[in-house]
Structure 1
Amino acid sequence: MRAEIASSWRRATLSGLRPESPLDRLTIAEIDPRSRLLVAATPVLDELAVRLTGTTFCVALADSACRIVDRRFTDVRTERALDRISAVPGAQFTEDIAGTNALGTPLEVMRGVTVHGREHFVEALKMFSCYGHPIRNPVTRRIEGVLDITGVGPEANPLFAPLLQRAVEDIEQRLWEGARQSEKRLLQAFQHATRRRCRAVVAFGDEVVLSNRAALDLLEPSDHAVLRDIAETAPTSGELSRDLVLGSGAPVSLRALKVGSAPDGVLVELTPRTRTRVPRGRTTGPRRSTLDSRLAELRACGEPVLIAGEPGSGRTRAAHLVVGPRADVLDAADLVVLGEREWAERLDSATADALIVERIELLPDALCARLARRLAERPRVVLTSAPQSDLPDGVRSAAAICPARVDLPPLRNRDDEFAGLARAMLAELRPGADLRITPSALEALIAQPWPGNLRELRGVLRVTAEHRTTGDITVTDLPAAYRNTGRGARLTGRERAERDAIAEALRVTGGNKVHAAQRLGISRTTLYSRMRAFGLPR
């Protein structure tokens, strides 16, 4: 067996796939007929279809997620054979779903691959022989998709490779021409929007950023990364509107519009929400966030407070902002060492003016009842917990006594505050150091899923600051796993919700893929493919 085929078989086996796995019921998703790849490839596919007339060969085009977006054939028997293995538009043919094949394998190894009949991992594909070649965007050098030609037989035709490579070159050339047209459309939209000089306008393309003078005066460098991340969620038709606070402290209303077809670019218009001029001078410290202001208000209320959020989201820090640094702290995780009796005694004997009880979701029902009585006797208590939706019934009864509640958002949902949080952490890690996170590095960081939340971000910045002690932190200074803006930077609102649901299911099931798939109502292979598409750790 050739080395590249043997490696592919190992990857398929590790993903849980078996040679007898069926392919007749793959999940079929919607495809975008106006995508940049499909628009560029359609004339080339038309020409290939003419050349294949009278043969049993077929051509398939897959996108960067290895989902088939188009196929061409001229024989009805070929159509039936493709339908039997679900090789239809909308089906995903990654290696963890279909094993070794000429769509998923070229995407893995990032070069052209020939797969002869018996070299397919899944039995249902062994009747085919094929050649697949990745398609790269000539501007960004990212892989946009894979083009495949398939025939029935034990050996792939040696002419497959040169024929398909020429077709891929034609598609890449059309992508290049399309990119130039996209930049022209983006420039025209930008010029039209900037006729009103009082409006701040920024236009984002793949490799182009346009900004008028009003936007230059209003925005800080870190704002560009935040705006690009928000703009990527704009719908294909219609507009996205929301309010946010810029790095300078200026409150603005944002309006984002797609320019042309979905990949062409995004136009962002910013309108100040007040006429009060925001000072642009150097500040003495990080600006207080809305969340910190809310916690400061609770400090004066004197009532029990529940602070809920994912691990690493800053629950302990938030609790101390409410009650101060001198509070007694009792952690439910210490039950393993102390035992229930000693833990309860420490709860009763706390003498400080305030008490923080950490991770109450770990408490048994008996201690939850005891904690509830303690709350009734001593109101200056702050509880921290997992998200409220994940709390057991017994814990919810104790948490219900808290009239004031704060839900800490996960870091992946704090785009507006990300730059400020990163700067504040960097200042704590390297006080007095002249360090600045460049917009491109900030964009790469914002695009990450951050399952460890603020704790994970602090660890990344600590490692980065050890290697870069002064000057600008660029993308190359970040740990290798955090350098790619990746899929997360281009997720739609629906895709982000899907990614969060998968991450939550994995967290609840302790990383068990089978149970997580059951909880989500999808197959395990679909779960693996979605995890890979969203860049979630496997």
Structure 2
Amino acid sequence: MDLRTEIAQSWRRAELSGLSPGSAVDRLDVADVDSRSRLLRAASPVLDELARQLAGTRFCVVLADHECRIVARRFTERSVELALEDISAVPGCQFLEERTGTNALATPFETRRGVAVDGGEHFLEAMKQFTCYGHPLTHPATRRLVGVLDITGPAGDANPLLGPFLRRAVSDIERRLLDGAKLAEQQLLTAFQSVQHRACAVLALGQDVVLANTAATELVDTADHRLLRELGRTRRGMRRIRLTSGTPVEVRVEAVSANAGLLFELAPVRPAVTRPRSTHELFPAVVEDRLRSAGRTRRRVLIAGEPGAGRTTAARVVAHGAPVREFGPVTDPTWCERVEAAAGAPGLLVIDGIHLLPAREAVRLAHVLDTTPTWFALISGPVSELHGEQATLAARVHRRIELPPLRERRDEIPAIARTLLRELGASLRLTPGALELLDAQQWPGNLRELAGVLSAAADHRSAGDLTAADLAPACASPAQRPALSGWEQAEYDVIVRTLRACDGNKVHAAKQLGISRSTLYNRMRALHVR
């Protein structure tokens, strides 16, 4: 059948996820639903009114949250309710295209646009009995996706008025979300004002509001906000932590109403200290120590890592002011002769891209290493990409230093970003929203990509606060993902890396990871891998 472009693209995404039209959806996993969420409180009256207006029809209303997990339903006919239960469209079930194919919950969630899906346009055979229209819900203040609203009925009952009807309901819910946010902000402000004059640092963190007294402004950096929010989700009362500045503090955490935010009182355990930092600050301290040690002892070194991870910069750290001669990948027949001629010069000889060297050139370069005392730094992609003569060449160096990709250094992004901004000569301060957006990126281009994003933002704002809006043109805005523990972040990174290597094919990724496809789907849902 001929499919509309948006439907055909959705079918393609479903196929890449390993789905087939006959895939079963009657046993999808179900999780608990937060019945006190802001979304449900704002939407419930609107859902009730929709159900009243749909009385006498065979249509139902389904609401999903920011994870596309169903949180509420309204029915006017029992037969439709039973039909939806047969396809796992029940509260707590997550409807993503990789599990449920093309439909009016998963596809609007994926595309961030309203979509009508009628009968045979559904990817899964089990859903072709329905006609539905879904539209994303966006918070008016934050512009973040907060959910999807859907109207569903039997395939024979399709009606072109479903779209405008549902969009009016979406507008009502979004307006109520904004009103609720204003009330929450008012509650947070009242709580803050009641304690802001205490002889300690007082900080209030709402969903999109930060309030701080003078002591908190001097003590707490924006990079600490994520740490404090995570602390507030798991602990109440007193707790001792260390801020990003290195200052140990006693923290008292208090929740302000159900959804207004968190109130923190912080007191330094001893006078603030500055945490020792790497002199370059772009590399982890242990990596920079090894780079500088290789420089002091003039040891030959292999610097490996993904593109953009700072390999050339790391070689200059090794050189530590000594003369540097750099050779890129082979470009002409005289490349080897030029390297051999440079081998007698003083200083550090840097050979970039040895993972790209043809076998003949790799053998000749290995001979140079064997027969001269020249100080070499070899630069390559990840060590796992070295094979044959390239691996033999790499074995001739005294020390291997692998630079971690930026996605594995999320806790260091605030400090790295500040360093890059200083190098750009910009007097900019990253707001919590900006740091959150940077943290949410996958950074396939690593440090080079981050530097490019910050440079583009600094071109338009050279001083003051750098906000998420300043970064947005160069950064994707994924659905909000909760903070992960260290172990969960490592698991998240492994899955993302494997999916990228498999071009997004989840069947191949599961096989490479040595797990079943259903296990991969479960972990992706739990870790919010998109």
TM-score, normalized by length of structure 1? 0.71
Contact 2:340/2:368 (8 A) holds in 1:
no
Which residue is 1:481 aligned to?
474
Distance apart, 1:9 and its partner CA = 1.6
Confirm or deny: 8 A CA contact 1:17 1:97 kept in the other structure. Answer: no
1:425 maps to amino acid: L
- Alignment CA distance shift 1:171-1:373 (3 Å): same
- Relative to structure 1, the CA distance from residue 27 to residue 498 in structure 2 (aligned partners, 3 Å threshold; closer, same or farther) is farther
Amino acid at match of 1:501: V
Contact kept? 1:20, 1:123, Cα under 8 Å: no
Q: Which residue of 1 aligns with 2:346?
A: 352
Deviation at 1:36, TM superposition (A): 3.5
> Are residues 351 and 272 of structure 1, via their aligned partners in 2, closer, same or farther at CA, if it must alter by over 3 Å?
farther
Instruction: State the SS of the aligned residue for 1:197.
Output: coil
Paired AA for residue 227 in structure 1: D
Structure 1: distance between partners of 2:267 and 2:299: 39
Q: Which runs of 5+ in 1 are unaligned?
A: 280-284
CA contact (8 A) 2:11 2:123 kept: no
How far does the alpha carbon of each residue in 1:252-295 deviate from its partner, in whole angstroms, 9 at most, with x for none?
Answer: 5586968369965355565557526669xxxxx99898638624
Task: Give the stretch that moved more between structures: 112-121 or 61-70.
Answer: 112-121
Separation of aligned partners in 1, 2:396 and 2:258? 49
Contact 1:236 1:258 in 2 (8 A): no
Aligned residue runs from structure 1 range 279-290, under 5 A: none
Give runs of aligned pairs for residues 154-169 of structure 1, distance below 5 A: 154-156=156-158, 168=170
Structure-2 separation of matches of 1:466 and 1:176: 33
Aligned with 1:81 (options 57, 80, 83): 83
Corresponding residue of 1:436 = 428
Match of 2:205 in 1: 204
Q: What SS does structure 2 have at the residue aligned with 1:214?
A: helix
- Map 1:234-245 to 2 at 5 A: 234=231, 236-238=233-235, 243-245=242-244
CA shift, 1:453, in A, is: 1.2
The code of the aligned residue for 2:24 comes to D
Q: Determine if contact 2:344/2:374 at 8 Å carries over to the other structure.
A: no
Q: CA deviation at 1:16?
A: 5.2
**Which position in structure 1 is the counterpart of 2:22?**
22
SS at match of 2:22: coil
Partner of 1:282: none
> Displacement, 1:419?
4.5
> Does the Cα contact within 8 Å between 1:130 and 1:149 map onto a contact in 2?
yes
Task: Verify: 1:135 aligned to 2:122, yes or no.
Answer: no
Q: Distance in 2 between matches of 1:412 and 1:163?
A: 42
Q: Deviations over 1:166-219 (max 9, x none)?
A: 765665466456535644664577578868624x34332122101122112234
The answer on 1:300 being equivalent to 2:292 is: no
1:324 aligns with 2:320: yes
For 1:460 and 1:10, the matched residues in 2 are separated by 33
What residue number does 2:105 align with?
Answer: 103
Give the residue type in structure 2 aligned to 1:245. T
Q: Give the AA of the match of 1:352.
A: P
1:315 and 2:311 correspond:
yes
Partner of 1:425: 420
Cα 1:360–1:95 change in 2 (3 A) is same
Please provide the CA RMSD for this pair: 5.3
Distance 1:133 1:423, change over 3 A: closer
Tell me which of 255, 271, 278 is aligned to 1:275.
Answer: 271
Q: CA deviation at 1:316?
A: 1.7
1 CA distance for matches of 2:81 and 2:153? 12
- AA aligned opposite 2:479: R
Shifted more, 64-73 versus 359-368: the winner is: 359-368
Deviation per residue, 1:391-413 (Å, 9 max, x gap): 66997888788776655343345
Greater alpha carbon shift after TM alignment, 501-510 vs 358-367: 358-367
Q: 1:342 to 1:39 in 2, by over 3 A?
A: same
Which whole-Å CA distance do the structure 2 matches of 1:286 and 1:311 have between them? 19
In 1, the alpha carbon distance for the partners of 2:491 and 2:62 equals: 27
2:10 alignment counterpart: 12
What TM-score results when the alignment is normalised by the length of structure 2?
0.72
Gapped runs of 5+ residues in structure 2?
none
Tell me the distance in 1 between the aligned counterparts of 2:113 and 2:288.
Answer: 53
Write the distance in 1 (CA, Å) between the matches of 2:462 and 2:197: 44
CA separation of 1:73 and 1:194: change in aligned 2, threshold 3 A: same
Q: How far did 1:127 drift? A: 1.5
Provide Cα deviations, 1:113-155, integer angstroms capped at 9, x if missing partner: 5544355454432321234344343543433112223222412
Residue 455 of structure 1 and its aligned partner are, at CA, apart by 0.9
For 1:350 and 1:514, locate their aligned partners in 2 and report how far apart those are by CA, in whole Å: 52
Moved more, 252-261 or 434-443: 252-261
3-state SS of paired residue (1:60): strand
Output the CA distance in 2 between the equivalents of 1:397 and 1:364: 13
Query: 1:488–1:535: 8 Å Cα contact kept in structure 2?
Result: no
- Which segment drifts farther, 399-408 or 81-90? 399-408
**Do 1:356 and 1:381's aligned partners in 2 also have CA atoms closer than 8 Å?**
yes
Matched, 1:504 2:494: no
Contact in 1 for aligned 2:250/2:269 (Cα 8 Å): no
Identity of aligned residues (%): 40
Out of 405, 412, 415, the residue aligned to residue 410 of structure 1 is 405
- Residues 125 and 196 of structure 1, relative CA distance in 2, 3 Å threshold: same
Structure 1 stretch 468-477 or stretch 117-126: which is displaced more? Answer: 468-477
